Amino acid sequence: MPLEPLSQKDIEERLAELPGWSLDGDRIGRSYRLGSHFAAAAMVVHIAQVQDELDHHSDLTLGYHSVSLTVNTHSVGGAVTEKDFELARRVEELAAGHGAS
């Protein structure tokens, strides 16, 4: 089944289930604070692993004690799709294990 862009209503409903995530233009994103630069770097590596598993990659930024990511689906013209929310849910699942808030 081909990916379809989500409606604004669908995006808002899915974002309500992901505290901290928001819509920024044509992308969804979130920033996390961590206890150290090393913890942030470890989380980036873990996110990269998940992205490879899903074959879906975000823009991922490592800061001093932070990790930020934004994502949309290039294959549907840069719109937000269910695939973006699948990645967001996976990142949320791993964030707690890294002490991210």
pTM exceeds cut of 0.85: yes
Contact 71, 19 (CB under 8 A): no
7-40 pLDDT, tens digit each? 999 999 999 999 999 999 999 999 999 999 999 9
Residue 1 has pLDDT above 90, yes or no: no
Handedness of CA 63, 37, 52, 96 (dihedral sign): negative
The DSSP 8-state label assigned to residue 79 in this structure reads B
